[in-house]
């Protein structure tokens, strides 16, 4: 069985109280920053509702027929809607299929459950298609929407869901959990600083060379600003990775550079390990220029969730930086 993470116990207990009282809503919006395990929570909740012998805390047993089917990905009363590829939109056809699925009678005389993740990736047609199901839910159906960006959802979609808000745990709790997962490897304070305090995101940073890639891209960006790298070539490097994550790094660098420019010794940086490099870059640019680039990076982040060509988008941004704007 997948266990509920320590910082999810409050939300889990809240849902189980509603379940025990027969007041479980037809749609739940699992909301919070990336790296808190919202999708894991939604899947565990779905499995527990399809489990014939949940434990005293409402968790799935992991061994009954319902659990075995769920874990095998073949439970007839459960369905997911997700992008065909990471970063791509959830299309209207996927949502229509999901809505038709929820309208059918349960094959096991229990819940029909659907998970949409990340829900903010639904395109406009898909989101509008979901509205009728939200307005006229079928009996014993549950829709679980998972997102780190609830503001990107249609207001009419948000208003028809009950929200489960997930929050980063206290730093001491997060550090303890991260140390237990990494057996003391890495710097948990740095990892948590880079991940908005989200433990799962911090754990991911410690693996797969992501920190090394972050350093490479900062050097790449510095070369661009110094006139030693063509914006088109720089954009090619940036477009190869997780563009949304890398734009967040870009935003964080500029926020830190502004802090370093305004305060001699700022008490907190998002990238404390990059202080020297960021200070060097900041020294060559005015606060006004750094703010303009921060604004541009934030617009870039918003555009990264649209069908606009990623390569062109990055080239435009980096060319503006290279020109001194």
CATH of the domain at 144: 3.40.50.300
Q: Does 171 fall in a domain? A: no
What is the count of structural domains for the chain?
2
Q: What's the pLDDT at 204?
A: 86
Q: Are residues 152 and 212 in the same domain?
A: no
In a domain, 144, yes or no: yes
Q: Is residue 101 part of a domain?
A: yes
Average pLDDT over residues 245-254: 93
> Is the pLDDT confidence value at 306 over 70?
no
Please tell me the predicted confidence (pLDDT) of residue 243.
87
Same domain, 159 and 221: no
Mean pLDDT of 111-121: 96
Shared domain check, 232 and 160:
no
User: Does pTM surpass 0.95?
Assistant: no
Domain identity same for 36 and 127: yes
225 and 157 in one domain? no
Question: Which domain-ending residue is among 114, 143, 165?
Answer: 165
92 part of a folded domain: yes
In a domain, 123, yes or no: yes
For the chain, state the CA radius of gyration: 22
Clarify whether residues 23 and 108 are in a common domain. yes
- Averaged pLDDT for residues 161-169: 96
Please give the C-alpha separations between residue 237 and each of 56, 67, 229, 231, 324, in angstroms, as whole numbers.
Answer: 51, 43, 11, 10, 20
The pLDDT-based confidence of 307 (bands split at 50, 70, 90) is low
Q: If you average pLDDT over residues 187-202, what whole number do you get? A: 89
Q: In the prediction, which pLDDT does 6 show?
A: 94
Task: List pLDDT tens digits, range 56-95.
Answer: 999 999 999 999 999 999 999 999 999 988 778 899 999 9
**Average pLDDT value for the chain:** 91
Residue 255: CATH number of its domain: 1.20.272.10
Please give the backbone phi and psi of residue 227, each rounded to the nearest 5 degrees, phi first: 80, 15
Using one digit for the tens of pLDDT, what is the confidence trace for 218-244? 999 999 999 999 999 999 888 887 888
Q: Are strands 112-116 and 141-147 parallel, antiparallel or unpaired?
A: parallel
The answer to whether the beta carbons of residues 87 and 51 sit under 8 Å apart is: no
Question: Has residue 102 got a pLDDT over 90?
Answer: yes
**Residue 218 covered by a domain:** yes
199 in a domain, yes or no?
A: no
Does one domain contain both 234 and 159? no
Looking at the fold, whether 139 and 17 belong to one and the same domain comes out as yes
Residues 6+ apart with CB under 8 A from 296: 317, 320, 321
Pair 38, 138 in one domain: yes
For 23-55, what is each residue's pLDDT tens digit?
Answer: 999 999 999 999 999 999 999 999 999 999 999
Domain that holds residue 279: 208-322
Domain boundary residue, one of 114, 149, 165: 165
pLDDT > 70: what percent of the chain? 97
């Amino acid at each position: 069985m997948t266990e509920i993470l320590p910082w999810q116990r409050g939300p889990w207990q809240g849902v189980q109280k509603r379940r025990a009282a027969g007041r479980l809503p037809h749609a739940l919006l699992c909301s919070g920053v990336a790296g808190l395990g919202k999708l894991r929570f939604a899947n565990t909740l779905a499995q527990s509702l399809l489990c014939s012998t949940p434990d005293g805390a409402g968790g799935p047993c992991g061994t009954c027929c319902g659990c075995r089917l769920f874990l095998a990905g073949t439970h007839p009363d459960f369905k997911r809607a997700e992008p065909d590829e990471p970063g791509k939109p959830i299309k209207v056809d996927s949502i229509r299929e999901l809505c038709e699925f929820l309208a059918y009678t349960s094959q096991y005389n229990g819940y029909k459950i659907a998970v949409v993740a990340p829900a903010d990736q639904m395109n406009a047609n898909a989101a509008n298609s979901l509205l009728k199901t939200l307005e006229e839910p079928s009996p014993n159906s549950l829709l679980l929407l998972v997102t780190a960006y609830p503001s990107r959802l249609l207001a009419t979609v948000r208003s028809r869901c009950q929200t489960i808000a997930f929050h980063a745990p206290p730093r001491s709790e997060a550090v303890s959990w991260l140390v237990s997962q990494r057996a003391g490897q890495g710097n948990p304070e740095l990892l948590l600083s880079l991940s908005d305090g989200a433990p799962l995101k911090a754990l991911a940073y410690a693996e797969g060379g992501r920190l090394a890639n972050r350093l490479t891209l900062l050097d790449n960006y510095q070369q661009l600003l110094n006139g030693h790298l063509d914006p088109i070539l720089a954009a090619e490097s940036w477009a190869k990775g997780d563009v949304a994550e890398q734009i967040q790094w870009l935003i964080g660098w500029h926020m830190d550079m502004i802090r370093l420019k305004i305060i001699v010794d700022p008490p907190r940086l998002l990238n404390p390990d990059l202080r020297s490099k960021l200070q060097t870059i900041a020294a060559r640019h005015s606060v006004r220029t750094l703010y303009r680039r921060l604004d541009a990076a934030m617009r870039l982040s918003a555009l990264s969730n649209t069908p606009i060509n990623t390569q062109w988008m990055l080239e435009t941004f980096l060319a503006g930086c290279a020109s001194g704007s």
